[in-house]
Chains A and B, each alone.
Chain A
Amino acid sequence: MNNIKTIDEYLLGNMAPGDALLFDANMLLNNDLISDMEHQQNTYAVIRQYGRKKIKEEIVAVQKILATAPQHRGFMHRIANLFKKY
């Protein structure tokens, strides 16, 4: 599976120090490796954005339950009242 696993271990700090040193040396000699590593870093950024988007959707769903379910009406009413005082 080419260098995916190696770069994963390197970027996430799961590589043994000796292997990491070897990886650093390889990067000096191999432009493709640098490029793959940059793309993989960008991939983690995309995964994090995706994760944030999805977790926020879950939080918004919880907020919707609070706003609509009868058993939470008292709670939401008390919250809404806080904004009437100011």
Chain B
Amino acid sequence: MAMNNNRLPTVEQREAFFMALYKKAFPNVARYVAQMGGSLEEAQDIFQDTLVIYYEKVASAQTEIIVNEKAYLLGIAKRLWLQHYKASNKNQPLNDFDTEVVPDEQPATGKILHYLETAGKKCMELLRAYYYDHLPVGDVATLFGYSGTHSATVAKYKCLEKVRETVKQNSLTYADFIE
């Protein structure tokens, strides 16, 4: 199943997309992990991260056409397995795929995320749709029930401001903490 113009606005559409990829590519990945001496659980973990990376790639606007999806996914999985095999900390498989510029001063993200997931869920979902899922503003307006693209854009900036303020407050606390 190919992504329709790289857009998967609803959970249901993403579910169908991931299900199709499981059926298509997981057997090969599982076979590879088994051959490498890994367990079924490890194969599942590796494949989850493979799908996250693949999703980010196809959702971003700069994606080239991927001709052989199956081989491509196996390629990502192999890289992740080798990383996983080398790394002592199994919770770091996605780090090498982190290509965005990340500022030196990291916020205390775990704490902020926890707070935002509860207190600012609607804003986070809206911002996720824009900046992570890369949905066009029209789709975001429909998904979140805004009357048009202008209201959706205004809401986006309001949310961005709100979250930035939280990050700012938290960074200050964090900086005070480590002084």
**Residues of A that sit less than 8 Å from B by CB:** 1-2, 4-5, 8, 36, 38-56, 58-63, 65-66, 75, 78-80, 82-83, 85-86
Question: Does B152 lie at the interface of the complex (its beta carbon under 8 Å from any beta carbon of A)?
Answer: no
Q: List 15 A-B contacts (CB under 8 A).
A: A2-B161, A42-B105, A42-B106, A47-B132, A47-B163, A48-B100, A48-B131, A55-B14, A56-B49, A58-B11, A58-B18, A59-B51, A60-B48, A63-B44, A82-B27
Assess whether B124 is interfacial by the CB under 8 Å rule.
yes
Q: Counting CB contacts under 8 A, is B3 at the interface? A: no
Q: Which of B63-71, B81-89, B138-146, B164-172 is the interface stretch?
A: B164-172
- B22→A66 contact, CB < 8 A: yes
B130 to chain A, nearest CB (A): 8
Interface magnitude class on chain B: 35 or more
Q: A1-B157, A46-B113, A50-B132 known; A63 and B22 CB under 8 Å?
A: yes
Shortest beta-carbon distance, B74 to chain A, in Å? 14
> Is A4 a contact partner of B101 (Cβ separation < 8 A)?
no
Shortest B99–chain A CB gap in Å is: 11
Interface residues of B in 86-145 (CB under 8 A from A): 94, 100-103, 105-107, 109, 112-113, 116-117, 124, 127-128, 131-133
Binding site for A on B (CB under 8 A): 11, 14-15, 18-19, 22-23, 26-27, 30-31, 34-35, 37, 39-40, 43-44, 48-49, 51-52, 55-56, 94, 100-103, 105-107, 109, 112-113, 116-117, 124, 127-128, 131-133, 157-158, 160-161, 163-164, 167-168, 171
- Which residues on the B side are within 8 Å of A47 (C-beta)? 124, 127-128, 131-132, 163
Specify which chain A residues have a CB less than 8 angstroms from the CB of B40 in the assembled complex: 79-80, 83
Q: How far is the CA of A38 from the CA of B34 in the complex (A)?
A: 44
Rounded to whole Å, the gap between the CB of A18 and the closest CB of chain B is: 22
With beta carbons under 8 angstroms apart, the residue of A46, A60, A82 that contacts B109 is A46
Specify which chain A residues have a CB less than 8 angstroms from the CB of B15 in the assembled complex: 58, 61-62, 65
On whether the beta carbons of A86 and B107 are closer than 8 Å, the reply is no
**Given the known A-B contacts A42-B106, A45-B106, A47-B131, are A4 and B164 also in contact in the complex, defined by CB atoms under 8 Å?**
yes
